[in-house]
Each structure stands twice: as C-alpha cells, then as structure tokens.
Amino acid sequence: MGAVVEIELREKMAGEVVLSPHPGRTLRKWREDFGISQRDLAKTLVTVPSVISDYESGRRASPGTSFIRKYVDALLRVDTQNGSRISQRLGLRPHSDGILGLREFAVAIPLRLLADQIAAKPVSHVDLHRDIHGYTLLDAPRAILSIDASHFVEVYGWSTQRALVFANVKYGRSPMVAIRAHPMKPAAVIFSNPGRIDPLAVRLSEIENIPLLATPLAPPEVLERVEAL
C-alpha cells in the first residue's frame, strides 16, 4: 500500500474514533475489522489485554488522542507483520457501476436494528444476533455481470462485517451463488423489493450461516432510511 493511502487510512481510522459518540465501540470495531485479538494488540502496545478491553467496553474514560493514535498505529503494525492483507484491501475504492451505494458506520449496529429501520424480515433460519459495520447496495444483475472474482473485494469496502443489499432481485439465486463461490462472506444479505425468492437462495443462506432478509422498500427508500441511522 502506498504511503499516501496509508496516511489516509490512518487518518480515517483515528478521525472516526475521535468523532464517534462511542469511541470505545469504534476502537473495537476497527480491531475486529483487522481480525486482531486483544491479546496480540496489547502485546504490540506493551500493555495488558484488560486495558484494551476496558477502553473498548467503556469501563475506562474515553481514550485521549494520544492513545487512539497508538492504538491505530498498533493495528497497522500488526497487519504489516501479517502481510498487510487488510490494509491493502482497505486502500481500494469502489468503481464498479454495479455498486449503487456504500457506507461504513461509525460504530457497529446490531443487525436487528438495521432490519427494523428498513422493514426487513428474515426469510432464512439463521440467527440475526450479529453486528453490522457497514453496508453496500448493489444492482444485482449489473454487479454479477461487471464484478469478476478479482474485483469482488471492492464490494466489501472497509469491512466484510457488513450487509450486502441487492436491488433488482427476481429470485435471488444468482447473488447467493456468487457469495457461496467467493471466500469473502458478508455478515448479512438483504434483498430490496424482490420477486419470489428461490428456495435455493434460502438454502445457501443457511449453509453459509449468513442471514437472508427481504424488505418491500425500493432502493432509494432503503438508502434514505439507512442514512438516517
């Protein structure tokens, strides 16, 4: 990853924590996005895991900017030791015309809260107890045709812990087959104003343990309601 992109990523991460109404939860969200344990991060910061846990849970007072910088730098340093896999992915910017909208949340949002906000109901028997760090709204036919396997990473923005919302879904089979075939998995899939959902789509949701939901709302209203969160 280039130096400019690395600086931008560091500034984005630190700025998001500083501006967050819940800085501890935002710290935790970033650590989870990088897939780094509290123990490994504490080792890099030369502290104990309980300090990380206390800041992330809010048991300690909100961290100051100095600690936030050290925390962010430690995440990037551990990722560098692991081959910079996450930093390189986070440096990408979506450019496919199949992507209609993409956003990262300042703090993790429970999937049930997101579902209630957009009137989405589950259509598969998968536990909804999970957090969502962002969403991507896709035009299903265009995304499947224009985003090949090597560029599918663009769909995930800053984190795979997100909801993929598919518009213009007729049966829902193709999006779920594409998700099944790719190693990167979303935290949830939502169909916007779909037709009849194919039982295969539901079955693939359950095999992958990815909640599948459907909302009767059209994409513009989905975007409006999500932005109001």
Domains 3-90 and 99-227 share a fold: no
Task: Supply the pLDDT for residue 94.
Answer: 44
Break the chain into its structural domains and give their ranges: 3-90, 99-227
The CATH class of the 99-227 domain is alpha beta
CA angle 47, 50, 54 (to 5 degrees): 110
| pLDDT for res 7 | 65
Tell me how many degrees the CA angle 107-110-112 measures, rounded to the nearest 5.
150
- Provide the pLDDT for residue 83: 83
Cα gap 136→99, rounded to integer Å: 7
Instruction: Note the helical H segments in the chain.
Output: 3-19, 23-34, 38-45, 49-57, 65-81, 85-90, 111-117, 140-146, 173-181, 199-208, 219-227
Local mean pLDDT, 10-residue blocks, the chain (229 residues):
61 81 90 92 93 91 86 90 78 63 84 96 96 91 68 72 93 91 91 94 97 95 86
Distance CA 56, CA 60 (A): 8
CB pairs under 8 A, 24+ apart, for 81-88?
Answer: 84/1, 86/33, 86/34, 86/35, 87/1, 87/6, 87/9, 88/1
Residue 11, pLDDT score: 74
pLDDT at 5: 54
Confidence (pLDDT) at 6: 67
pLDDT for 104: 81
* pLDDT at residue number 97: 65
Between 1.10.260.40, 1.20.120.1730, 1.20.120.1200, 2.40.50.140, what CATH number should domain 3-90 receive? 1.10.260.40
For residue 153, the model assigns a pLDDT of: 65
- Note the pLDDT of residue 162: 93
